[in-house]
Every structure is written in C-alpha cells, then in structure tokens.
Amino acid sequence: LARRPPRSIVSWRPVPTGTSGGVSAPGIAAAVAGATFIACASAALGWPRDTAAAALVGGLAGSTIDSLLGATVQVRRWCDRCNAPTERATHSCGATTRVVAGIAWLDNDVVNALSTAAGGLLGLLAAA
C-alpha cells in the first residue's frame, strides 16, 4: 500500500514488495499504531501500567525482530521453472524450489513464532 517500494531493514536499499525484511513508512506506522492500540486497550480495561508498557514494547520489538530475521536468516528459495524468487518449497507453478539463501528450516512460520516469543519476552522485561 506504500507509494514507494519497501526498503531492506538491514541495508536500507529498495526491495520488491513482499520481500521478507522489507519495511516501509506505512508499515512501521501500522506496527506503532497496533502496539499503541493494544497498550491503550489494556489501560482502558484498568490493567496495571506495566501491562500497557509490555504491550507497547513487546509489539514493537516483535515487529522489528520479525523484519530483521526475515532479512537475514529466513530461508529464500528459487523456482527454476519460473525464474522467480519464492518462500515456498513448492512454487505456485507446481515446481519444487531450491534454497538459495538463509537457513533451510527457518521459514516464515518459524520467523513468526520466534518474533512473537522474543517480543513477549522483551515485553515482560519492560514490565518488570
């Protein structure tokens, strides 16, 4: 939805839309807004201030860690049939893809799980 192409969170060079580790101003704003919304909701429910701080820090940290892992260690694959990059083991054309970068078992689902866990832990530390 951004007017400009996303940029790699690591090199800050433009990357194609949908590239793991690509960030944009609207995406960062959405992450901030989402974490702020959850923090405000917890405050509105009368939960302790530490809970709001944990939500804000954890949400922002998890989002940032997701982009960093996506840009650095998440598996990247290539479809030789279509000559196209993909994150899938089987491309939409039906061809089996090959690993060209990253850690073979570290797919988007694993990155999401790690980022969620890290964001949660950092949120807990912020609330302590």
Q: Would you state the pLDDT for residue 2?
A: 84
Buried b (16+ CB within 10 A) or exposed e, 32-63: eeebeebbeebeeeeeeeebbbbbbbbbbbbb
Instruction: For 1-44, write each residue's pLDDT tens digit.
Output: 789 999 999 999 999 998 999 999 999 999 999 999 999 999 99
**Residue 96 pLDDT greater than 90, yes or no:** yes
Q: Rounded to an integer, what distance in angstroms lies between the CA atom of residue 74 and that of residue 42? A: 33
Instruction: For 32-91, write each residue's pLDDT tens digit.
Output: 999 999 999 999 999 999 999 999 999 999 999 999 999 999 999 999 999 999 989 999
Q: Rounded to an integer, what distance in angstroms lies between the CA atom of residue 116 and that of residue 67? A: 12
State the residue for tokens 């964001």: 119
Question: Per-residue confidence at 101, pLDDT binned at 50, 70, 90?
Answer: very high
Q: Would you state the pLDDT for residue 128?
A: 80
Tokens at residue 40, please?
A: 């405000």
Terminal alpha carbon distance of the chain: 37
Strand partners, 7: 14, 23
Q: Would you state the pLDDT for residue 9?
A: 97
Q: Do 15 and 7 touch, CB atoms closer than 8 A?
A: yes
Q: Rounded to an integer, what distance in angstroms lies between the CA atom of residue 119 and that of residue 15? A: 25
Q: Would you state the pLDDT for residue 116?
A: 97
